[in-house]
Amino acid sequence: MYFKQMLDERCGCASYLVASRQSREAAIIDPAVDTQQYQALLAERNFRLRYVIDTHVHADHVSGARALRDKFGAALCLHQSVQATYPFRPLSDGEELELGQLRLRVLHTPGHRAELISILIVNPPRSPEPSMVLTGDSLLVGDVGRPDFGGGDPAAQYESLTRLLRLPDWVAVFPGHFEGPCGKGMCGRPSTTIGFERLYNPLARQERGQFVSTLTDGVPARPLNMTAIEATNRGLADMPWAMLTTSPQVPEVDIEALERRPPDALLIDVREPGEYAHGHVPGAINLPQADLASRLNEVPRDRPVLLLCERGVRSYRAAQFLMQMGAERVVSVRGGTAAWRAAGKPLALGDTRIEKSLVTESAWTHAGGSCS
């Protein structure tokens, strides 16, 4: 057997190459959009790519699965419930994929998203029991995948976690993320074991009600450009440029400059609709960071643009993305709406029928770029 974990520092994602050294067949799980690294490894090791598997439709990074399928003629595999515009091999719970002497056993572990699967790796000549499990964004190291990315369900996540933690202690856990917006309390280690998580994952000993409220309180905002990235991964759009891949220096202004902004400046609040509705700087329009790439035509190029969020983290990333797209007159408001509020300045209300978002500002609520 051959196994390699590949970590993408930009988005906190992990992808995997598993192969049989007997048959030279390989599978790649959750590939990043940059497929060169896998191509090089396949060539170097003389492996033949048989399967490309996405554990779920990713909302925070563009998948390289279809590019690998096209390049190598591999079977592209997703859970049978995925709605995509392109053909794929549908997988169901309990199914096994043969990879030489190895068996890749599918476990349906919904919660982060309804279609999420984990992959148990069994090497029968060594043991009838699995030795490792690739958990996508179901079980993370010290955490579980957040359930609010569309179609997710915290109660289902509870069931999936319970199911995974019934695996033997020794099973090594390799998650789809070691950092990033898909969880909110990841440890940062790139792997763990079932036994360790059963004992020390803070969510593992919570009963269902407490688990659900832990998962739904204080979540990070939806990732930068999530709408465009998810649509691209479903085949509904072709926007791989929606990933933030650069780290330009963004000019920042304080709330005094915000108050004195030129009359033709456009003020964009990139927070979630529920945050905006319950108090925003007067004159700001709402364009959530999750929708920025898909609504890029609403951002003018011929006027100054000020970006604003709760504390200045999301607006900085959003401004970096606009600069990556060639915008020149973009600034981020340091301290954000919180600084405006703290200075006792007036706030406007929007449609307060929209439920208030319980969002926590986080450096990781984005789809790439480096953390400051």
Supply the residues annotated as catalytic. Answer: 309
Determine, following the binding rule CB under 5 A, whether residue 82 of this chain makes contact with Fe ion: no
Min separation Cβ 55 and Fe ion, Å: 8
Min separation Cβ 56 and Fe ion, Å: 6
- Site for Fe ion, residues 210 to 269, rule: CB under 5 A: none
For Fe ion, the closer of residues 121 and 182 by Cβ is 182
Stretch binding Fe ion (CB under 5 A), from 89-97, 101-109, 136-144, 324-332 = 136-144
Determine, following the binding rule CB under 5 A, whether residue 30 of this chain makes contact with Fe ion: no
CB of 106 closer than 8 Å to CB of 122: no
For Fe ion, the closer of residues 186 and 270 by Cβ is 186
Which pairs from 272-275 meet CB under 8 Å and 24+ separation? 272/221, 272/222, 272/357, 272/359, 273/350, 273/354, 273/357, 274/354, 274/355, 274/356, 274/357, 274/359, 275/310, 275/337, 275/356, 275/357, 275/359
Q: Which of 62, 68, 121, 182 binds Fe ion (CB under 5 A)?
A: 182
Task: Give the DSSP H or E segment for 118.
Answer: strand 117-122
Stretch binding Fe ion (CB under 5 A), from 130-138, 157-165, 279-287, 308-316 = 130-138
Min separation Cβ 116 and Fe ion, Å: 8
The tokens for 347 are 């706030």
Min separation Cβ 133 and Fe ion, Å: 16
Helix spans in the chain (H): 36-45, 65-72, 154-164, 194-200, 208-216, 226-234, 255-259, 273-277, 313-324, 336-342
For Fe ion, the closer of residues 67 and 182 by Cβ is 182
Determine, following the binding rule CB under 5 A, whether residue 137 of this chain makes contact with Fe ion: yes
Q: How many residues bind Fe ion (CB under 5 A)?
A: 2
Stretch binding Fe ion (CB under 5 A), from 177-185, 263-271, 282-290, 321-329 = 177-185
Separation between Cα atoms, residue 271 and residue 203, nearest integer Å: 28
Stretch binding Fe ion (CB under 5 A), from 87-95, 182-190, 197-205, 349-357 = 182-190
Min separation Cβ 292 and Fe ion, Å: 19
For Fe ion, the closer of residues 31 and 312 by Cβ is 31
Separation between Cα atoms, residue 224 and residue 278, nearest integer Å: 21
For Fe ion, the closer of residues 236 and 354 by Cβ is 236
SS3 29: strand
For Fe ion, the closer of residues 224 and 299 by Cβ is 224
Question: How many H-runs (helices) and E-runs (strands) does the chain carry?
Answer: 10, 21
The residues near 302 (Cβ < 8 Å, ≥ 6 apart) are: none
Q: Tell me the residue type at 13.
A: C
Q: Which residues contact Fe ion by CB under 5 A?
A: 137, 182
